[in-house]
Amino acid sequence: MNRGNQCDVLVIGSGAAGLTLALTLPTEMSVTVLSKGELANGSTYWAQGGVAAVLDSSDTVDMHVADTLDAGGGLCREEAVRFTVEHSREAIQWLIDQGVPFTREKQADLSDGGFEFHLTREGGHSHRRIIHAADATGAAIFSTLLEHARQRPNIELLQNRVAVDVITEPKLGLPGNRCVGAYVLNRDTGEVDTFRARFVVLATGGAAKVYLYTSNPDGACGDGIAMAWRAGCRVGNLEFNQFHPTCLYHPQAKSFLVTEALRGEGALLKLPSGERFMPRFDPRAELAPRDIVARAIDHEMKRLGIDCVYLDISHKPADFITTHFPTVYERCLAFGIDITTQPIPVVPAAHYTCGGVMIDQHGRTDVPGLYAIGETSFTGLHGANRMASNSLLECFVYARSAAEDIASQAASVRYPLDLPPWDASQVTDSDEDVIIAHNWDELRRFMWDYVGIVRTTKRLTRAHHRVELLLREIDEFYSNYRVSRDLIELRNLALVAELMIRSAMTRKESRGLHYTLDHPDMQPEAVDTILVPPTYVG
């Protein structure tokens, strides 16, 4: 199906949030979903752990809320936490209804109202409440939702499309502040197309690619955050970047994430000597929240001058390991590591962007007609530290809420006027792409060194000087040469890096994922870091 570059709803991003929204919208609304590369290239596909929800009879909404607030370091917005958790069961039921093959209990007794699906436990959770599909939950969810989307005649899925910028009425010199579409690079033709839409949804994921070592796929470049900022949207809490404590340490593994569910099922973190170290850092040991575990690993690696630590689940029965963690088992085995008999070498890596574009409970940003959902957004759910498996839940709850809000407005919002085409008349083809590659590498290295797990004022100041220089160079390059995926991503990543650094410099305390040696204590009052763009109209 090809309807041209016009639709009711333009969804930029094809992961869990974007596909859920597309499938929840009324079938009479035309929806176009854009993917930067292949449809399965986003973070959803690679998510191993699962989805947190109140599903067991011994668990309650209040318990899940309390665990999330505790992990969030005092910065969670309780109304957002409660909204998300209260809608968790219906979101999971929707996924079950779609046919997501969640792992079932081998001998479930449903006669007394028992739950037929297997629930696991992860760091920060006081109960087993993680529903999963073995250790490849993301792939199971994504494949199921994608198959449904392909069968819907009102949904068009376009691959190899990179959004350059959203289009707002002020950019066109029109009255009002509504978002009316987007400029999108077609990587197959090399041309920038103009998409006209009544509603635009940013579901582009996070910005962990700003760091040298990350568990995220290559497309996690903060595109939605950067586009929203340029459109006039506020951003919040971008200093809180979660580092997953356990990514496989191997020269050929490219930061393969080892699911937290291993620790939930009894895996132990050890030094090369075989000594456990987590009990020295937190009474919850391996089940402490991710920021504590990541800092502990970072501390031990620096203290001892070692390249990695080890995650050991080999004391569990081999059939238990291969049944519950087939993906991790097979992937490690491919690198010569048999996790049924050997510990796994692991290091922390950038994993999740807790801050993002500020939205309300319907996914609405500061710009009318522009929505943000998933990791792109800042809902207030995660606070200063995301609790494991709350992120996928957030995707489903807020995507469904945004879809309902869009549907409620459908009759009252008209199509925008014809939009001007992308102007490439003043640019030429670049003969110096080495500049892009060099700047890309420099940015990610100084972010890792200066704005990583442990920070100082001097490091942040140094990073800010570097990023300001890079932004000027990138802006000059962007103004003179034709856009490419690499240039668009570098432009967005550098902008988001600058926003992250500014946010970190603003926070004169250590809280959650933001830890600075110059301000090791928490301030008595927890305050969000909100940055306001020059184009913000309130």
DSSP letters for 44-73 = HHH--S-EE---STT--HHHHHHHHHHHTT
364 is catalytic: no
Is 427 domain-assigned? no
Whole-number pLDDT of residue 425: 81
Based on the fold, state whether residues 81 and 218 are members of the same structural domain. Answer: yes
Query: Distance between CA 169 and CA 230 in Å, rounded?
Result: 13
Based on the fold, state whether residues 325 and 391 are members of the same structural domain. Answer: no
Is 419 domain-assigned? no
Whole-number pLDDT of residue 415: 87
Query: Distance between CA 408 and CA 315 in Å, rounded?
Result: 54
Options 161, 234, 290, 364, the catalytic residue: 290
Is 298 domain-assigned? yes
Is 537 domain-assigned? no
Average pLDDT, integer, range 324-341: 95
Is 535 domain-assigned? no
Tens digits of residue pLDDT in 220-257:
999 999 999 999 999 999 999 999 899 999 888 777 88
Label residues 33-68 b or e (16+ Cβ within 10 Å = b): bbbbbebbbbbbbbbbbbbbbbbeeebeeebbbebb
| Domain membership of residue 453 as a residue range | 434-520
Whole-number pLDDT of residue 114: 53
CATH number at residue 501: 1.20.58.100
Based on the fold, state whether residues 183 and 34 are members of the same structural domain. Answer: yes
Based on the fold, state whether residues 148 and 199 are members of the same structural domain. Answer: yes
Based on the fold, state whether residues 304 and 275 are members of the same structural domain. Answer: yes
Average pLDDT, integer, range 502-506: 98
Tens digits of residue pLDDT in 404-439:
999 999 999 998 888 999 988 888 887 777 889 899
DSSP 278-310: GGGT-TTGGGS-HHHHHHHHHHHHHHHT-S-EE
Based on the fold, state whether residues 228 and 308 are members of the same structural domain. Answer: no
Whole-number pLDDT of residue 42: 66
Based on the fold, state whether residues 251 and 274 are members of the same structural domain. Answer: yes
Based on the fold, state whether residues 234 and 87 are members of the same structural domain. Answer: yes
Is 384 domain-assigned? yes
Number of domains forming the structure of the chain:
3
Is 153 domain-assigned? yes
Is 532 domain-assigned? no
Q: What is the mean pLDDT of the chain?
A: 92
Based on the fold, state whether residues 58 and 186 are members of the same structural domain. Answer: yes
CATH number at residue 328: 3.90.700.10
Average pLDDT, integer, range 312-321: 97
Based on the fold, state whether residues 181 and 88 are members of the same structural domain. Answer: yes
Whole-number pLDDT of residue 1: 40
Based on the fold, state whether residues 51 and 142 are members of the same structural domain. Answer: yes
